[in-house]
Copies of this chain bind each other. A is one copy, B any other.
Amino acid sequence: MDDDGAQAPAEVVHSADGHLAHGYLTGKDAYLKRLRRIEGQARGLQRMVEEEQYCIDILTQVSAMTSALQSVALGLLEEHLGHCVAEAVAAGGPEADAKVREASAAIARLVRS
């Protein structure tokens, strides 16, 4: 799975909804690395619970993992605003409004989660 990016020369991918994923790729490997670390944190939490480590230490790890996740989300969001939303806005029309509303709803979910 990890080799996928290296093997695929066609870095411009059309997703199901037709958006260009080009800009997205900029930091793809960095995102994957961060997400693998987050996956490792999830396994670490299981080990801590398995070994019945001290609750407060587990909670500290959960906070660290939540911060790491939020940081990934904020990075993806910035790329989304700078690419997908920007392109839709530049093109104008109802699609522009829809993209802004969609991004705003995603931001609301992040703020409230």
Contact = CB atoms under 8 A, between A and B. Distances in A.
Contacts of A58: 76
Given A86-B89, A100-B82, A70 B19 contact: no
A contacts with B: majority SS: helix
Contact of A32 (B46, B54, B64, B107): B46
Contact of A66 (B45, B90, B96, B113): B113
Contact of A1 (B50, B76, B89): B50
Protomer copies: 4
A28 B45 contact: no
Contacts of A103: 56, 81
Nearest to A53: B15
